[in-house]
Structure 1
Amino acid sequence: MSAKKVTETIARFRNDILNGTLPFGSLLPSEKELAAEMQVSRPTVAKVYNALQKEGLLKKTPGQGTTVVFNGERKKYTFGLLLPGAGESEIFGAIHDHFLAIEKEKEPKFLWEGAIANHAQVRQNSIIKICERYIEENVSGVFFAPLERTENAAGVNKKVCELFDKENIPVILIDRDIYSFPERSQYPVIGLDNFNAGYIMTKHLIESGCEKIYFCYRKDSASSIYKRIAGCNSACFDAGIPFSREHIMVGEPADLNFVRKMKIVPKKTGVLCANDSTAAVIMSSFKQIGILVSRHVLVAGYDDMKYGKVLQPSLTTYQQPLFEIVTISYEMMLNRLVTQHSIAANISLTGELIARESTKFA
């Protein structure tokens, strides 16, 4: 059963319990019986029952079965969404939409200040005020995608978490940690397996004919970049292709002098960019200096932004598992509220390579 199907099954049972179709004291089918009825594995059914138990709707008692313990009174949660990167990347808008879908099930309430701003420095100046408003609203927990693209991002991210810690408000980190790899914070992190994503995309470029790989990103990018670089390095090592500091390009993709620093060997060079935004600008800059993507060089990015399909050539990218990231984050938050116990769990999910024209030599 897919993660989406599990979520739908949880929602169906939840609704039946809340509307009284399954009243207090009802004995539910055993995991084995329900698994046979739904034609899924017993562990899959266990996930459904466990999730509802964490919400305080069911109770699993060894030797007695699973019963409904909801008696008509249930705490309503309000959560704060702190997604400052929504001003630059579509993925955080999509993440918000997935949280909104959870809200529409009439369960929690999610507070969101929107994209905040397109400029990273403005977002930095606004984020602490938003945290203070969430604390005033007495939120039950916060889902936080750490700030990036500013020099003091690490300090601001740490301060954000400390503000909520002081009020005993649990924080779940989305997409990345507040510290750079290999350092690790005390907060749960749910996001993409960035090492694997770096490896997969680099391997794709190599299999497409590249014998020289560059990894390009903007200064002060998210800490997840370092895991992607590590994956890129590993794929090059396995293929016997040199990869060192000179292949890691840090700068503004619109700066033609910066782009010229990449020594392009026609039909043998690939450029893996930290995200689709960087890749799109790199492609434009290459064109301005007479280097054509798919003819002379291959380019790929991450996040599967909508505009990637209409670029010329269309952009190869890596699609993040956003639905799964939100679902698991929410389940982890509920568990944190029920058990009052937090561990620095790191849940890394795989995405999907979307191959397009930008990684095919013409």
Structure 2
Amino acid sequence: MRRKQLNILESLEEGIITGVYKNGTLLPSEDTLAKQYAVSRPTIAKVYNQLQHKGYIKKTRGYGSQVIHNNARSTYTIGLLLPGSGESEIFTIINDQILKLSKKNHLNCLWEGATVSNAEIRRTQIEHYCEHYISQKVDAILFSPLERLPDADEINLRIFNKIIDADIPLILIDRGIKTQPDVGGYDIIWLDNLSAGGAMARHLIKNGCETIHFFYRPNSANSVDIRLSGIRDTVLKHHLKFTEENIYCGDPSDLNFIKTIKIVPGKTGIICANDSTAAVLLSSLEKANIKITSDCLICGYDNMKYSQYLKYPLTSYLQPCEEMANISVELAIRRIKNKHHIPMIVNVNGKIIERESTMFNR
């Protein structure tokens, strides 16, 4: 079936299921719909034949195409497994937007797995919430995989397999699964981390940095690995050096470790995996007598609210969190209605919010 015809079919199906076209009403005439979609009348006739074959409508010569489907569902139940909401503001924004969407779209969202703050509590409770959602037979689950725990990959894969085995539509938000599962059938919505990494590297190079470092904490999400790839590719394309010596994985509050960072005064830029890491690193660098905006520049990701209020207001990469929430709900509803949809990976772009931390004092 041609793509446009399929799109029209899916649109009408959704309209019937959600009650836009109520049971007993007539669909627009074939001529009217053909003009609306700028297609031929035979194309609409084929769509209506498909709807009749699926039991949505009854076509009667001289009368029209009447909706006979009376099993519309107005509410879907979606379980939220967003454990990062206790750590990063981006999930607060995502949660708030999902709440707005749930009211607007008549969604019943279960929030138990979206309010965990402590990392160890997340470890012990996240699987419990997953099993609870499965026992509740939710229609879909939105899951942001755990990070910053030594066994996060193992836990994430276990949760993933439980959801897939239960045949529940799964949408991953912000992060993927590091250990690539053998099965498909899930969607991902996240930042275009390759592009975001490259954008920040270009920003620092444009502002005078000839040495670029990347700093992240152990057991970070796989999105951080992709971000690093974007940084590396961009730095090398600018004919600058970037090796393992430019990559630092550790605790940003560990002063002895921070002192190992090689700083070329006035020419060094440090890209942190996120703002929380950058904020701690800013303090540690000062304790190590490394001056921000004189010796080095520093930036992060997520544009946390406090970023602009640090001693050196932090340049950060703003993620389109509300749009990520919008798309995640769209993907969930799409897969609820048709579990056989081709899995989608949706990359969204953000923008750099430039502040003092990436401006050299010349």
**TM-score class, shorter:** 0.7 to 0.9
Counterpart mapping for 1:126-145 below 5 A: 126-145=125-144
TM-score with structure 1 setting the length: 0.81
Residue in structure 1 matched with residue 96 of structure 2 by the alignment: 97
Counterpart mapping for 1:110-125 below 5 A: 110-113=109-112, 115-125=114-124
Q: Which has the larger radius of gyration?
A: 2
1:109-157 per-position Cα deviation (integer Å, ceiling 9, x unaligned): 1111265443322211111111111122221010000000011111101
Contact 2:24 2:66 in 1 (8 A): no
Residue in structure 1 matched with residue 106 of structure 2 by the alignment: 107
* Deviation larger for 337-346 or 352-361: 337-346
Q: Which runs of 5+ in 1 are unaligned?
A: 1-9, 36-52
How far, CA to CA, are the matches of 1:31 and 1:237 in structure 2? 53
**Residues 1:124 and 1:67: Cα distance change in structure 2 (over 3 Å):** farther
Counterpart mapping for 1:1-362 below 5 A: 24-27=25-28, 30=33, 73-113=72-112, 115-179=114-178, 186=184, 187-362=186-361
Q: Which runs of 5+ in 2 are unaligned?
A: 1-10, 39-50
How far, CA to CA, are the matches of 1:322 and 1:132 in structure 2? 27
Contact 1:180 1:223 in 2 (8 A): no
**Residues 1:31 and 1:210: Cα distance change in structure 2 (over 3 Å):** farther
**Residues 1:81 and 1:234: Cα distance change in structure 2 (over 3 Å):** same
**Residues 1:337 and 1:259: Cα distance change in structure 2 (over 3 Å):** same
Residue in structure 2 matched with residue 50 of structure 1 by the alignment: none
1:2-26 per-position Cα deviation (integer Å, ceiling 9, x unaligned): xxxxxxxx9xx98xx8588999335
Deviation, 1:275, is 0.3
* Deviation larger for 344-353 or 201-210: 344-353
Runs of 4+ in structure 1 deviating by more than 4 angstroms, as ranges, are 17-23, 28-35, 65-72
Name the amino acid aligned to 2:26: G
How far, CA to CA, are the matches of 1:143 and 1:94 in structure 2? 15
**Residues 1:345 and 1:185: Cα distance change in structure 2 (over 3 Å):** farther
Contact 2:210 2:267 in 1 (8 A): yes
Contact 2:188 2:345 in 1 (8 A): yes
TM-score with structure 2 setting the length: 0.81
How far, CA to CA, are the matches of 1:26 and 1:225 in structure 2? 49
1:290-318 per-position Cα deviation (integer Å, ceiling 9, x unaligned): 11211221001001100001112111011
Give % identity: 40
How far, CA to CA, are the matches of 1:126 and 1:87 in structure 2? 13
Q: How many residues align?
A: 324
**Residues 1:180 and 1:114: Cα distance change in structure 2 (over 3 Å):** closer
1:167-205 per-position Cα deviation (integer Å, ceiling 9, x unaligned): 211111111111269x99723211000000000001100
How far, CA to CA, are the matches of 1:222 and 1:357 in structure 2? 28
Contact 2:278 2:299 in 1 (8 A): yes
* Deviation larger for 314-323 or 106-115: 106-115
